[in-house]
Amino acid sequence: MNWRDELRRLVGRLRNEAPASEPLPDAPGGLSCREAAERVYEWLDGELEPDMADRVGTHLQTCARCYPFLRFETSFREAVTRAAERSRADLTTPATLEARILESLAEAGFAREGAAPGAEDHDGVEGN
């Protein structure tokens, strides 16, 4: 099973197990599943007031219905972060390539940005 199929399976499962909207008498953190789920992103980003952060965190980490949702969101964020880091690493330009590009531009008559006064600018006209 590839990652897309697994993601579809998990999202479908989460939809079928929609969080309850009314808190149970002994609901973790005193919040309903829906209230905790609505604040999961703020909680993960550290944007909640301390009291609410404690209540949401308690609920998400101890509720049998919400914990899989929390794990999914956390894992998804981690996967996106790893993918972004790999993409950034792939975008780095080797110094030799940069030097060859600058050399080719200079040979074609394009001056490097910040070149000395009197040098030809990118339009080939001195002093512009």
Domain ranges in the chain?
A: 3-92, 94-128
Q: What is the pLDDT of residues 53-62, one digit of tens each?
A: 999 999 999 9
Cα 29 to chain centroid, rounded = 28
Q: Taking the mean position of all CA atoms in its chain, how far away is CA 54?
A: 24
Q: What is the pLDDT of residues 17-38, one digit of tens each?
A: 544 555 454 577 888 888 998 9
pLDDT score for 49: 95
pLDDT-derived band of residue 123, with 50, 70 and 90 as boundaries? very low
Query: Tokens for 29?
Result: 């953190």
Instruction: Enter the tokens of residue 66.
Output: 């919400």
pLDDT per residue over 73-117, tens digit each? Answer: 999 999 988 888 877 766 666 778 878 888 888 888 876 665 544
Q: Which amino acid is at 55?
A: R
